[in-house]
Amino acid sequence: MEFQFSNRVLKLKPSAIREIFKYASDPSVISLSAGNPAPEAFPSKEIAEISERILAQRPIDALQYSITEGYEPLREYLTDYMKKMHGIGRDFDNILITSGAQQVMDLAAKSLCNEGDVVICEAPSFIGSLNTFRSYNTRLRGIPMDSDGMNMEELEKALKEESNVKFIYTIPNFQNPSGITMSWAKRKQLYALAKKYHVLILEDNPYGDLRFHGEHIEAVKSLDDAGLVLYAGTFSKIISPGMRVGYAIGPKELLQKMIVCKQGQDVHTNIWSQMVCHEFMTRYNFDEHLKKLQEIYLKKSAIATGALDKYLIPKVTYNPIEGGLFLWCTLPDGVDMLDFCKQAVLRKVCVVPGNAFLTDDSAPSQSFRINFSTPTDGQLLKGIQILGTLANEMITN
């Protein structure tokens, strides 16, 4: 039959990254396009031990229905941990366990946005969040990025010009895809502008624990004395993305509406996964685990940047990074970025074209994203060398 799709989804396109995954599933293809944790970063042994213990001692707790708000011991521990370690959470805040941080974006947009409302985003920004906001027929307003985060003059201009901004979406740490980290000065400016214009900030922080250079910078949420920031955290990059455990910390009134929306989506987040995350944090050395991850990604990033320096610089440039999983590479003007990415696929190397991360994905872009966490060290070197050969062929000056 011919389906009449809703206006809400009619114009949605498949994720460019998920489409590229189809090519990347070929074992002969070197995927520099994913965003997955490194295989050696998974605490598989510990997860197996915890799971065996839970299923032996508390099987019904792990297998039965539970409450939408999340596993209470995990909620309590995270509330205390985030307050003590990061200064996040005030008396007006609450916590909701979600099915990955992606669900925080969806529940926030579903709770707050009507058709035609404006969401201000960094440009570029994470395609998964952009598509979520698009699915509610919002209008995306992109703010260009400086080397230390969102351009605050352009942000204030947008806040003055737009009358129905529902929130500002930001990834302040090792941003996906640009790798840029927002400075402390800009975080304070961002919060001051949100307060001045009475706009919510949606702070997405999936990579914050993966810093391997520089000094830690506190979250925008740590400044929140007026209930203007909804903070999204996740275990996907530090324990397991497949377990789908994330969390939101934000004003109680907003979280209560998000809880109602979540009840209509998935009832509650997987309880076994929540129990595993709680036990991993409380019964194992969580700080040592994070240090191990930082060491893994320090090494892999060094391999990737070393190869870029050897094979692509100066024809292709990239942003310096202090953590995270991604490198944002830029071709010189006059070189067709989309053709470059297509030619790379034909040579069995996948990268993500930069326009996929723009609020208007039909706008021109000279950049592409490389992921260094998923491939092996050998694949990283070989894949970037192939990109270098291609760049030398396409860029003659």
Q: In this structure, what CATH number is given to the domain that contains residue 26?
A: 3.90.1150.10
State residue 60's pLDDT score.
Answer: 97
| Report field, pTM of the whole predicted structure over 0.85 | yes
Q: Which domain holds residue 353?
A: 7-43+288-394
389 found inside a domain: yes
Is residue 249 domain-shared with residue 359, that is, in the same domain? no
Q: Please indicate, yes or no, whether residues 359 and 344 belong to a single structural domain of this protein.
A: yes
Q: How far apart are CA 13 and CA 96, in angstroms?
A: 29
Task: Please check whether residues 187 and 271 belong to one and the same domain.
Answer: yes
For 309-326, the pLDDT digits (tens) are 999 999 999 999 999 999
- Contacts of residue 131, defined as CB under 8 A and 6 or more positions apart, other chains included, come to 12, 13, 15
Range of weakest confidence among 26-30, 307-311, 352-356, 357-361: 26-30
Domain boundary among 244, 259, 283: 283
Per-residue pLDDT of 208-240, as tens digits, reads 999 999 999 999 999 999 999 999 999 999 999
The encoded tokens of residue 89 equal 């959470």
pLDDT in tens, 62-81: 999 999 999 999 999 999 99
Q: Which tens digit of pLDDT belongs to each residue from 6-50?
A: 777 776 766 555 556 566 667 789 999 988 999 999 999 999 999
Confidence of residue 171 (pLDDT cuts 50, 70, 90): very high
- Dump pLDDT digits (tens) for 87-105: 999 999 999 999 999 999 9
**Domain contains 251:** yes
Per-residue buried b or exposed e for 366-381, using 16+ beta carbons within 10 Å of the residue's own CB: bbbbbbbbbbeeebbb
pLDDT at 28: 87
243 and 347 in a common domain: no
Same domain, 73 and 159: yes
Residue 253 has pLDDT above 80, yes or no: yes
* pLDDT tens per residue, range 263-292: 999 999 999 999 999 999 999 999 999 999
- Average pLDDT, integer, range 163-184: 97
